[in-house]
Structure 1
Amino acid sequence: MRSKVTLEDVAQGAGVSRATVSLVVRKSPLVAEKTRLKVERVMADLDYVHDLGAARMRSKSSRTIGVVVPNLVNSFFTEFLSGVEQVMGEGDRVVLLANSHDDPLRQDEILHRFRGHGVDGVILCPAQGTDPGLLDRLHHWDLPVVQSLREIGENATDFAGGDYAEGVGLAVRHLVALGHRRVAFLSVTARTSARKERLLGFTRALAQTDAEDGGIVEAELSWEGAFQSAEKVLQLASRPTAVLCFNDVLAAGLMAGLRRAGRVPGQDIAVIGLDDLPLAQLTFPPLTSVAMWPDQIGASAAGLLARRLAHPDVPVQRSILVPALKIRESSGVQIN
């Protein structure tokens, strides 16, 4: 049986000290680039694998963090996780992902499992209906938590998200500038802080532009739910000329439903999404959407958790990213 390659083996092969190899493994900036490349080359040649188990024993840390999201229908969370993993990977941490299915009971089970696995901390997008008392329990468990995208409590934990109220405002002002006066809002059914923030932005933007509230339609966050929402939108008594959607998933499904009903998105009725996922450029027509930078939000959440793990007593911090409107044909603008 082949013996395990050690730090000493790598150090001897590279002609450096064991301490230098250890610094390279930990991605320390203290090692000169030339030396780092030489050590990494020897590590690759010897097929060296860093012993995370031993490192965890020494540091009394599992080097893992948990991430809980409410669904995986929306690819927003795939982008979000990518940002989390990038930052945590740089810190030599492993990310455990779990889907709560927007169920507080399932979320509790996940958090208990994470606790059993000894995760160092958690990034949580709370399920709808989550009791704010959960934060007290996590504190009692001595389990650091960063909330992201949704929030329970008021400034109770570090938080990473985007300015969705402003994002909705960008979308409404764009529609009004194109001549739309009656704007409807297609929302998810889940009552969360994310929904509340978007509706607040919608109400505020309507007041600022003197546009009319074309009505609020709710749909389940699923492809079928989004597809079926078109019928509800077309039945609105206000006969809106534009629809602003909670996210890109609902917007894409809505446009498909409108086409089935014989309406042409971007011509008969304008449609705008929120998030600007890669999906937005693949719909027909391409979807005007508000970029909310999910990968950057994920990276911010991970950065806040890393900060909290390194300095447990630092003040609570919020990271809110500024949105940007991405104009395409679905809002009625002809793109050459």
Structure 2
Amino acid sequence: MSPKRPTLEDIAKIAGVSRATVSLVVRGSPLVAEATRARVEQIMAQQDYVRDIGAARLRNNSSNTVGVIVPNLVNAFFTEFLSGVEQVMGTHDRVVLLANSKDSVARQTEILQRFRGHGVDGVILCAAEGTTPDLPERIRGWGMPVVQALREVGTDVSDYAGADYSEGVCIAMRHLVAMGHRRIAFLSVRARTSAREDRLRGFARGLAETGAENAGIVEADLAWTGAAAAADAVLALDTKPTAILCFNDVLAAGLMLGLRRAGVSPGKDLAVVGLDDLPLAEMTYPPLTSIAVSPATIGAGAARLLARRLSQPDAPFERFINTPLLVIRQSVRALTV
């Protein structure tokens, strides 16, 4: 027989307070005096108290969980994104369930059905490639609020959190041109998503603004091996670019590895710029110039939008767009003629 779990009543009796006071402490209410909160929390820890989520769900008709679906876990961007989601959802007493769609619509559908089965309160969705624009509306039809993040399907069909990647690419191109680079190529992922479209839109805009030459667009799989192999395609471009702007830091790091294997020195022989500014950017050789978008901030923004949607189901859709910033390191040097 399993040992009896301590209840709110047990904790209240030991602490010499009411059950209602213990309940307020468990829910993180600011209405409890700090000394009382500390004493109750100490007793809960001593008694190994665990909140009965099942009972709370029955009382509140809420699972106190939200689902997050991302397209891959290769990119550390999503780890930081999740940390932002968890930080905000923690303040709302909700647990985050993470799932990886592997950029598969079929797998994404299976995950959504499992989330429905678990009764999650809402979903933050970074849609898989090929997702149809009607999906957010279908999810809402299940009684499950949804916020799209980083990738968007449909127009004005849900709340959305992301970064201004189009402007981020323009910022990177202005920096490259200021450093003397005129022939600029773009290394993109293959997946046809709004994230790719945003970046390519920024590339076209940056070319028009700066007068730089489009030295070509090369595609690669979002993986270390794919990015490294793309170096051969970049070096084979007839336009002979002096700078490469990459879809994200993962592709940039892989590309620099491939360039070094081909005897080309990133930064010195060929400028490389990434997007996202992950911790990885400081650990590449040379350290990578990148566009910072703060994935944790975007994750927190998505979580706040979902919390708002849960409390105000009929509120107008909102967008949270984080402003990108240029972080200069050694992978871009001034071009000398």
TM range (shorter): over 0.9
Which segment is superposed worse, 262-271 or 75-84?
75-84
The answer to whether the aligner puts 1:292 opposite 2:293 as a matched pair is yes
Aligned-partner residue type, residue 249 of structure 1: V
Give TM-score scaled by structure 2 length: 0.96
Determine the C-alpha separation between the residues in 1 that align with 2:92 and 2:49: 19
Determine the C-alpha separation between the residues in 2 that align with 1:211 and 1:24: 60
Determine the C-alpha separation between the residues in 2 that align with 1:155 and 1:165: 19
Kindly state the Cα deviation for residue 171 of structure 1 after the two structures are TM-superposed.
0.7
| Mapping of residues 161-180 of structure 1, within 5 Å | 161-180=162-181
* Equivalent residue number for residue 240 of structure 1: 241
Kindly state the Cα deviation for residue 248 of structure 1 after the two structures are TM-superposed.
0.4
Kindly state the Cα deviation for residue 31 of structure 1 after the two structures are TM-superposed.
1.5
Kindly state the Cα deviation for residue 111 of structure 1 after the two structures are TM-superposed.
0.8
Determine the C-alpha separation between the residues in 1 that align with 2:242 and 2:83: 36
Determine the C-alpha separation between the residues in 1 that align with 2:10 and 2:82: 36
Determine the C-alpha separation between the residues in 1 that align with 2:44 and 2:324: 43
The answer to whether the aligner puts 1:326 opposite 2:327 as a matched pair is yes
Aligned-partner residue type, residue 125 of structure 2: L
Determine the C-alpha separation between the residues in 2 that align with 1:331 and 1:38: 56
| Post-superposition CA distance 1:12-41 (Å, at most 9, x none) | 222222111111100011212222112111
Determine the C-alpha separation between the residues in 2 that align with 1:127 and 1:96: 17
Aligned-partner residue type, residue 53 of structure 2: L
* Equivalent residue number for residue 272 of structure 1: 273
Say whether the 8 Å CA contact 2:137–2:157 is kept in structure 1: no
Determine the C-alpha separation between the residues in 1 that align with 2:50 and 2:214: 60
Shift >4 Å, 4+ stretches: none
CA RMSD of aligned residues (A): 1.1
Determine the C-alpha separation between the residues in 1 that align with 2:140 and 2:7: 39
Alignment partner of 2:74: what SS? coil
| Mapping of residues 172-251 of structure 1, within 5 Å | 172-251=173-252
Kindly state the Cα deviation for residue 73 of structure 1 after the two structures are TM-superposed.
0.9
The answer to whether the aligner puts 1:103 opposite 2:104 as a matched pair is yes
Identity rate, percent: 67
| Post-superposition CA distance 1:139-197 (Å, at most 9, x none) | 22111100000000112100000111111111111111111011110000001000000
Kindly state the Cα deviation for residue 110 of structure 1 after the two structures are TM-superposed.
1.1
* Equivalent residue number for residue 41 of structure 1: 42
* Equivalent residue number for residue 75 of structure 1: 76
* Equivalent residue number for residue 283 of structure 2: 282
Kindly state the Cα deviation for residue 109 of structure 1 after the two structures are TM-superposed.
1.3
Give TM-score scaled by structure 1 length: 0.97
Aligned-partner residue type, residue 308 of structure 1: R
Aligned-partner residue type, residue 219 of structure 1: A
| Post-superposition CA distance 1:97-131 (Å, at most 9, x none) | 11111111111111111111111111000111111
Runs of at least 5 residues in structure 1 that lack an aligned partner in the other structure: none
Kindly state the Cα deviation for residue 90 of structure 1 after the two structures are TM-superposed.
2.0
Determine the C-alpha separation between the residues in 2 that align with 1:84 and 1:204: 32
Aligned-partner residue type, residue 325 of structure 1: L
Runs of at least 5 residues in structure 2 that lack an aligned partner in the other structure: none
Kindly state the Cα deviation for residue 136 of structure 1 after the two structures are TM-superposed.
2.6
